[in-house]
Amino acid sequence: MKLLTQPIPLKDSEYKSFVKLIYNASGINLGDQKQELVKTRLGKRLRALGLKSYGDYFDYVTHVTNHREMTNLINAISTNFTAFYREPQHFSFLLKTALPDISRRKQALQSRKIRVWCAASSSGEEAYSLSMTLLDYFKDPIGWDIKLLATDISTKVLTEAYHGIYRENKLKPVHPALLDRYFDKEIIKDAVFYQAKDLLKQVTVFRRLNLLDPIYPFQGPFDFIFCRNVMIYFDQPMQEAIVEKLLKYLLPGGYLFISHSENLSPVFRSRVETLAPATYRKK
């Protein structure tokens, strides 16, 4: 007989405490409607730790020395949906406009260095799509010094990204020629997977980074930045603070891509040029 586990109730006061804790730690603004999400995602942590209430879990995670559980909490609460070549208009824009422009400017400066940042990269699909686009466009990877930095707050998705192993169905948006060039096919227990080849991994560096951090541990500057489908979780002041930092790390004339479902605050209007929906250039 299967034992049914009793659902653990989430009190209103407990929910409010978690909302505040998550907001302060990650900027993710859950508002007052996400009780079910918190209950389901954090319920797994309660069960894993053998705790009886959300209040006990709150005390556990906020214990001064418990940084590790805070990481688990953020891993559990963050929404990581992503896909290869998601919002394909941005990839067309790169090929038609941004990369030819970047290539021209580099040649004028006699520079061969291309630096790209994929912020909030989740499990790597977006970062690898960008790396493939860059390698395919610039062709000669030895002649160019190409590096793509991919960052996320969640260590869980970063581990997946680092391994770069994806189920066959996830690779559907990848052109067969690129799939062949940049991925190895593997059969694991009758299921088909694809693993990113070293050629792709060598240009793609994954690091943990909380976009809320006051200072980012790198210098940039980047030729373009993708920061898509993460600012929707932040409130307006937080979004503005992050865009401010992104612009700081972008080269003059560099490109910033946000999601088509996000808006760039009007406070940046004088500092960026809008080139296409969700596509900007730093003046």
Contact 44, 8 (CB under 8 A): no
Paired residues of 277 in beta bridges: none
| Contact status: 204 vs ligand SAM (CB under 6 A) | no
| Contact status: 26 vs ligand SAM (CB under 6 A) | yes
Q: Please state the φ and ψ torsions of residue 193, each to the nearest 5 degrees.
A: -125, 160
**Torsion sign over Cα 268, 279, 87, 121:** negative
Give the residue with the Cβ less far from ligand SAM, 86 or 281: 86
Residues in 117-176 that interact with ligand SAM by CB under 6 A: 120-122, 126, 152-154, 157
Helix axes 67-77, 54-62, angle to 10 degrees: 130
Contact 254, 115 (CB under 8 A): no
Binding piece for ligand SAM, criterion CB under 6 A, among 47-55, 61-69, 73-81, 192-200: 73-81
Give the residue with the Cβ less far from ligand SAM, 8 or 76: 76
| Contact status: 86 vs ligand SAM (CB under 6 A) | yes
Contact 94, 242 (CB under 8 A): no
| Contact status: 29 vs ligand SAM (CB under 6 A) | no
Binding piece for ligand SAM, criterion CB under 6 A, among 93-101, 166-174, 229-237, 272-280: 229-237
Q: How far is the CB of 255 from ligand SAM (least distance, A)?
A: 15
* C-alpha–C-alpha distance, residues 82 and 170, integer Å: 10
Instruction: Give the number of other CB atoms < 10 A from CB of residue 185.
Output: 12
Contact 71, 160 (CB under 8 A): no
Of 104, 158, 156, residue with least CA distance to 127: 158
41 is an active site residue: yes
Please identify which of the residues 41, 105, 112, 207 carries the catalytic annotation.
41
Contact 194, 186 (CB under 8 A): yes
Binding piece for ligand SAM, criterion CB under 6 A, among 39-47, 78-86, 214-222, 244-252: 78-86
Give the residue with the Cβ less far from ligand SAM, 26 or 279: 26
Binding piece for ligand SAM, criterion CB under 6 A, among 20-28, 45-53, 139-147, 185-193: 20-28
Interface ranges with ligand SAM (CB under 6 A): 26-28, 78-82, 86, 120-122, 126, 152-154, 157, 209-212, 228-230, 233
Catalytic annotation, residues: 41, 152
